[in-house]
Amino acid sequence: MERYRIGGGYSFEYTNLGDFKPISHGNDINNFDPGFSSFFLKKYFFLLGGSVYRYYEYLLVVDANIGGYSLGKNFDKGAIKKGAYFNLGVTVEREMSEYFRVFVRPSYEFKSFTTNIPESDGIKHKFNAFYFNIGATYRFPELRRCFLKTCHIQMNHAHGNKEYRSRVHPIYKKQNPHYGENYPNLIRYKGKNKKKINPY
């Protein structure tokens, strides 16, 4: 199990924007129309995570993204004071093979900024968000693919003094590194044979 995960990333998001609404004195203060309805949000972050549970090919990972962000050009960046943002999520991964995984990741994100107002402490704006990500990851193999077109070995193997990975095993199917799993069930146990008491 890959217990801990450390990394970084960058994202570029298209964001819809509504009117700014007051969180207090709503009867006395009108909503504010920013004059535009969408913008691009850029985020750069540091990732920390760890796997907490495994069930066969399924892996549960708890992780957090911590970093900064940049609002679109429609915002007056000189009048805005930003802080860091925090994204907390839980990822469920399904291992399809040694290198290929699919995942779902629900998460919640905390971020805010303060608009500088002369002769005041400024106005704080929160724009937290809930995300539900679906995707796939691919890890580049450590071993080179076998160069022999006629080679049908499923497991990692050697030719001469070099080790190679199988050329017949698909990236979307799990493979034990010590033996192949393209055909885990013998023909005598498939189809009509599996209903026979004695498949021989």
Q: According to the model, what pLDDT value does residue 200 have? A: 55
Q: According to the model, what pLDDT value does residue 115 have? A: 84
Cα–Cα distance for residue pair 104/56, rounded to 1 Å: 17
Cα–Cα distance for residue pair 122/196, rounded to 1 Å: 78
Of 123, 49, 106, 113, the residue nearest 85 (C-alpha)? 113
Using CA of residue 58, residue 63, residue 69, residue 72, what is the dihedral sign? positive
Q: Which amino acid is at 188?
A: R
Q: According to the model, what pLDDT value does residue 93 have? A: 94
Of 157, 163, 149, the residue nearest 180 (C-alpha)? 157
Q: According to the model, what pLDDT value does residue 184 have? A: 60
Q: Which domains does the chain have, with CATH numbers?
A: 4-138 (2.40.160), 142-200 (no CATH)
Q: Which amino acid is at 183?
A: Y
Instruction: Answer yes or no: are the C-beta atoms of 81 and 122 closer than 8 Å.
Output: yes
End-to-end alpha-carbon separation of the chain, Å? 39
Of 13, 1, 8, 11, the residue nearest 39 (C-alpha)? 13
Q: Which two tokens stand for residue 102?
A: 């699919």
How many residues are recorded in the chain?
200
Summarised one tens digit per residue, pLDDT across range 10-22 is 998 888 887 877 7
Phi, psi of 93 (to 5 degrees): -110, 145
Summarised one tens digit per residue, pLDDT across range 103-149 is 999 999 999 888 887 777 778 888 899 999 999 988 888 888 899 98
Q: Which two tokens stand for residue 11?
A: 């994202």
DSSP-assigned states of every residue in the chain: ---EEEEEEEEEEEEE---B--SS-TTTS--B--S-SEEEEEEEEEEEEEEEEEETTEEEEEEEEEEEEE--TTS-GGGEEE--EEEEEEEEEEE-SSSEEEEEEEEEEE-EEEE--TTS--EEEE--EEEEEEEEEEPPPSSPBP--TT----S-EEETTEEEB-SSS-TTS--BTTB--SS-S-GGGSGGGGG-SS--
Ranges under pLDDT 70 in the chain: 1-2, 25-26, 175-190, 194, 196-200
